[in-house]
């Protein structure tokens, strides 16, 4: 068996990603809590309830688990509804709580990456029209200025908005997120406001903390034509890529919003990313379907024989990570993998999913693509939005009723990688033997003793 160790560069960030509503519990003053109370909004009628009880203090034990597992960073989000429960009314106790959490990361020698908006809005924002109301840009900037002034001395890495493309699509096209709209034109208005709010936040943070690094966590989903020979399949795959993957990142790159209804200049958004945050999970095949106008005439699916997660939500396709990184590299910015993971309660797919995708990341870094960190989604099973508790993404399993955590084998796998700052053939053989030969081909020699570094 070939023995090899693929090292990552010194200072590479290894962590997990979380979001406030999904882990804190009892976020009763935001639009998602109200959404959960409505019938048929969440699978099986699930509710977030205590979530992972981080607001009750269990973040301490979970941060200990992450630190013991060799993680040197953590991505977490702040809950706008806790910090600004009413317009321009600040809850200093909540800010103090977040300060304690961030200090807790630093005390464990973990770099905090802080997200300012991760899908949830204060009730007062939702009642005033949410992200369709142009005033939301000023509201968001006011909140960001308060946070940067209060916590900025502890934070060097900021995410303004998590997955604005997902938020606009799920909330205003598909109706799966609040406010549950199904209006494509309205979604582009919301997209404009999200870009403007990001730009305002970017400039505000740099004004208050000039040395900070600021970006967006962008969801990149691979879209490939179901039949490469079909011009219609190629067209819908390109269209989805342009609207879902390219629209917002291109706008914050050059200040031009290109939607199907025309171009619009947003000059203040130009060059407002210091790094590109890349959330990537899977690749979807796209076929033209005249009967699906609301889905851009596209039938999206995974091909027969795909390596699927238990609910069929994610297909394990490591080549998609390579394509995502190649796309991200084109912006010429440092890259952080700000989310990547798979729902897998029994932890059977996750080990090969992790190592196969990390190998693609390592190869990309060897040709000098500037990947500087990896944040696994997620640390502990959490509340997965409209899917409730039906999907389990955690390195640690959570019993929602008792709050007991149980370590999955993938937690040990990830700990080995983090502690070594490397992916080794022995680690892969131990945790994902089914992909060992593919990742570390023998090349006719039982032991070449190879090592690799970037």
What would the pLDDT profile of 177-218 be if each residue is shown by its tens digit?
999 999 999 999 999 999 999 999 999 999 999 999 999 999
Q: Which of 422, 396, 358, 336 is nearest to 73 (CA)?
A: 336
- Domain ranges, residue 200: 12-420
Domain containing 349 — which CATH number? 3.20.20.80
Q: Pick from 275, 147, 267, 284: which is nearest to 214 by CA?
A: 275
Mean pLDDT, rounded, of the chain: 96
What is the pTM (predicted TM-score) of this model?
A: 0.97
Q: What average pLDDT does the segment 44-73 reach?
A: 98
Q: Quick count: other Cβ atoms within 10 Å of Cβ 158?
A: 27
In a domain, 435, yes or no: no
Residue identified by tokens 């799966």 is 176
Whole-angstrom distance, CA of residue 50 vs CA of residue 45: 15
* 115-170 tens-digit pLDDT: 999 999 999 999 999 999 999 999 999 999 999 999 999 999 999 999 999 999 99
Residue 360, helix vs strand vs coil? helix
Domain presence at residue 445: no
Pairing of strands 276-288, 335-339: parallel
The domain total for the chain is: 1
In a domain, 6, yes or no: no
Q: Is 5 part of a structural domain of the chain?
A: no
Concatenating the DSSP letter of every residue in 26-91 gives --TTBHHHHHHTSTTSSGGG---TTTT-IIIIIHHHHHHHHHHTT--EEEEE--HHHH-SBTTB--
Return left, alpha or beta for 245; rule: phi > 0 is left, psi -120 to 50 is alpha, else beta. Answer: alpha
Does the pLDDT at position 449 exceed 60?
A: no
Does residue 446 lie within any of the structural domains?
no
pLDDT at 452: 52
Cis peptide before 99 (omega within 30 of 0): no
Q: What is the pLDDT of residue 234?
A: 98
- The verdict on residue 70 lying in a domain is yes
**Given a cut of 90, is residue 443 above it in pLDDT?**
no
CA-only gyration radius of the chain, Å:
21
Residue 156: name the closest of 9, 13, 297, 4 by CA: 13
Question: Distance (Å, rounded) from C-alpha 38 to C-alpha 32?
Answer: 10
Average pLDDT over residues 343-368: 98
Per cent of the chain over pLDDT 70 is: 97
The whole-angstrom separation of Cα 239 and Cα 245 is: 10
pLDDT for 30 beyond 90: yes
Residue 448 has pLDDT above 50, yes or no: no
């Amino acid at each position: 068996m070939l023995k090899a160790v693929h090292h990552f560069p010194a200072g590479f960030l290894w962590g997990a990603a979380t979001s406030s509503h999904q882990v804190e519990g009892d976020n009763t003053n935001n639009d998602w809590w109200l959404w959960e109370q409505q019938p048929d909004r969440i699978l099986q009628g699930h509710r977030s309830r205590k979530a992972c009880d981080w607001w009750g203090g269990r973040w301490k034990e979970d941060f200990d688990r992450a630190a013991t597992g060799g993680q040197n960073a953590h991505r977490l989000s702040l809950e706008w509804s806790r910090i600004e429960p009413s317009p321009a009314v600040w809850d200093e106790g909540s800010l103090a709580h977040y300060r304690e959490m961030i200090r807790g990361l630093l005390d464990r020698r973990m770099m905090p990456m802080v997200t300012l908006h991760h899908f949830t809005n204060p009730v007062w924002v939702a009642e005033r029209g949410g992200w369709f109301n142009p005033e939301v840009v000023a509201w968001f900037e006011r909140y960001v200025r308060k946070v940067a002034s209060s916590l900025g001395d502890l934070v060097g890495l900021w995410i303004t908005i998590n997955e604005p493309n997902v938020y606009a699509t799920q909330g205003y096209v598909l109706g799966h997120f609040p406010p549950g709209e199904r209006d494509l034109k309205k979604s582009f208005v919301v997209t404009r406001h999200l870009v403007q709010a990001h730009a305002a936040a970017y400039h505000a943070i740099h004004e208050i903390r000039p040395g900070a690094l600021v970006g967006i966590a962008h969801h990149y989903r691979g879209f490939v034509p179901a039949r490469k020979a079909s011009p219609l399949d190629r067209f819908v795959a390109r269209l989805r890529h342009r609207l879902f993957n390219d629209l917002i990142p291109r706008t914050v790159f050059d200040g031009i919003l290109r939607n199907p209804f025309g171009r619009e200049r947003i000059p203040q958004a130009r060059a407002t990313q210091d790094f590109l945050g890349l959330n990537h999970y899977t690749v979807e095949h796209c076929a033209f379907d005249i009967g699906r106008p609301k889905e851009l005439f596209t039938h999206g699916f995974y091909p027969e024989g795909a390596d699927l997660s238990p609910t069929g939500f994610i297909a394990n396709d490591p080549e998609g990570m390579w394509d995502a990184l190649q796309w991200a590299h084109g912006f010429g910015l440092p890259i952080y993998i700000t989310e990547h993971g798979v729902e897998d309660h029994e932890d059977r797919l996750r080990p090969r999913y992790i190592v196969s995708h990390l190998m693609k990341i390592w190869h990309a870094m060897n040709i000098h693509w500037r990947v500087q960190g990896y944040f696994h989604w997620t640390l502990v099973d959490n509340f997965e939005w409209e899917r409730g508790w039906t999907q389990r993404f955690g390195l640690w399993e959570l019993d929602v009723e008792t709050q007991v955590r149980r370590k999955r084998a993938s937690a040990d796998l990830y700990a080995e990688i983090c502690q070594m700052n490397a992916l080794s053939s022995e680690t892969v053989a131990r945790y994902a033997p089914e992909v060992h030969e593919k990742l570390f081909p023998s090349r006719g020699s039982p032991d070449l003793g190879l090592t690799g570094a970037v």
